[in-house]
Structure formats: C-alpha cells, structure tokens
Structure 1
C-alpha cells in the first residue's frame, strides 16, 4: 500500500503534522468507519468518516464521527441551504477522485466546501481517511478544519 496519496501530499504542502496508520480494509463491513476504528483500536467518536452530499444541488463534503449519522437538516443549515441529500457513490468517486471507503476531505480532485462536526474539535487528535482504503491520517482536528477551510458546526442527528 502506498502511503503517499493526494491527501497526504495536500497536508504536507500545507505543513500540517500528521501520522499515518494502516489497517486491513473490510469491503463487506456494514459501517466502514466503525470497522476502521475497531481495526486500529480507536474510539469511534475519534474516527471521522468523510461523506459526500449535495446541498441545494451543489456538492459538499461532510466529516463526522463514525458512530454518528449526519442530520440532513443541520447540514443544509450549515451551508445556508434549504435541502441536503447524500451524493450517489459513483458521483462521489468522480468528483473526489477517490474510491468509496477511501474518500478523504484532503486533496480531492475538485475542491468543494467542507463541514466538520464541531464535537470532533474537542479531541487532541482524530483520524480521517488518507485517500485510499485501509489508510488513516491521525492529526489535530483544528489543523484538519483549517486545511480544508471547513465550516465547523453541529451536524449530527
């Protein structure tokens, strides 16, 4: 497995400090983020999942703890929109240049607005997908938010 991805390159270019962790990705897992947390021995609330959505028809990226569900109402409100819905997997892959299960908020092919669950910023470090299945980036959540110029708000149901 390559440990250099567009995500790691984007963070290096910004001078963000991070550590990489690899694990065996299980494509049959019901909840990929929870499987990653278990594989790495990390609390699920520190393992963040990256989801692609649409608010009023425009693409956005949303980053929330793996043990939480996104509130579409709160997501729409975070972007000043009326409605939000999850993006179809094929559309998410084309837009980001990453495969589902390996989508990172960093180094996406097309830059889109990002929102991060505010509770995630209360931890010393969090884990975010590193741009490929089985690769996680551990970093300060405040650095993650700054790196993608994220909106930080309560986003979970």
Structure 2
C-alpha cells in the first residue's frame, strides 16, 4: 500500500490546481499528498480510498460536498468516515432545509470532477461549513482539486481562507 503513495512537502508550482493556487495566494502552509487513484478501489468512496492509500485515519480525511438549500448552494466539509447531516448544514447557514446538489451542478460550480472537488479554488464561492470534528486536528486532508491529490491544511486556516464556519454537520 505504501508503495503506491507519494507524499511530499509543498513545493511552489508542484501539483498546481486552483486549490493550491488559492492556498499559495493566501500564504497558508499546506502539504501535498499524491496517490495512485484506481477505479477498482471505489467500493467505499474516493475519500476512504485516499485515507487508506495515504495511511491517515478516516476521521482526519475530509470530503467536500455541495448541497442546495432552495435559495443557495452551500459547501459542507465532513470526515470521509461519516455522512453530512443536511438539516444541520442548513441550520449552520441559517436555512431550514437542504438537499444534496446534483453532481453535474457541483462539478460546474466548483470547476472540479466528482471525487476531486476541493473546498479551495472553486469557480463559484459558496458559504462553507466545516464539521467541527476537524478542530481536534493540527492538520486535515481535503481534496487538492483532482482525484489522487489531497492537501493537508490546518483546519483554522481552512476556516480563515474560505471565510467558513465550523459546526457539527456530520453523522456516523
């Protein structure tokens, strides 16, 4: 498993995606993690694949999901080991309800493909909510903007760069 993984510190220009460009522009320290994505490993989802191949606890690796509240779209960032509580996400942004956004809409508005959607560098900025479990870690991993590429960031930096909020939006 470790043989398929390449872990490296961020080097300016390496692994450049809109996500890393936003992080560089904000002056936020981050680490790039790459692994060989395989469609054969998709039984448990993209985020679980990343956690396993990179050797991180699933509670420290987060997936980026987009929901629609009826009046706007909202980005939720939750551990790959859990699910997003749509009612809690809606409440965190002052709305009453939310439903998962159509994957085609999420890809168009984020500028990324499903399985590679990063909370950073999205084409359209949306209100973003990070599950508060992230605050227990010095570093969390989120997609770096393509399948097989993650970035490690301090969750407080994620909140600052995205003007996001933290709230309990995950269920297990």
Give the TM-score category using the shorter length: over 0.9
Identify the residue that residue 147 of structure 2 maps to in structure 1: 133
The alignment's TM-score, normalised by the length of structure 2, stands at 0.87
Deviation at 1:70, TM superposition (A): 0.7
- Larger Rg computed on CA atoms: 2
Q: 1:16 and 2:34 equivalent?
A: no
Q: 1:7 and 2:7 equivalent?
A: no
Q: Which has the higher contact order (CA 8 A, sep 6+)?
A: 1
Q: 1:49 and 2:63 equivalent?
A: yes
Deviation at 1:17, TM superposition (A): 0.1
Describe how 1:1-157 pairs up with structure 2 within 5 A.
Answer: 3-28=15-40, 29-30=42-43, 31-157=45-171
Bigger shift: 125-134 or 48-57? 48-57
The structure with the largest strand share of the pair is 2
Deviation at 1:44, TM superposition (A): 0.2
Deviation at 1:57, TM superposition (A): 3.7
CA-to-partner distance for each residue in 1:89-111, whole Å, 9 max, x for gaps?
11101111111111001010011
Deviation at 1:27, TM superposition (A): 3.1
Deviation at 1:156, TM superposition (A): 1.2
Deviation at 1:56, TM superposition (A): 2.7
Unpaired runs of 5+ in structure 1? none
CA-to-partner distance for each residue in 1:52-107, whole Å, 9 max, x for gaps?
11123411111011101111110111111111111111110111111111100101
Bigger shift: 51-60 or 128-137? 51-60
* Matched residues, number: 156
The alignment's TM-score, normalised by the length of structure 1, stands at 0.96
Q: Which runs of 4+ in 1 moved over 4 A?
A: none
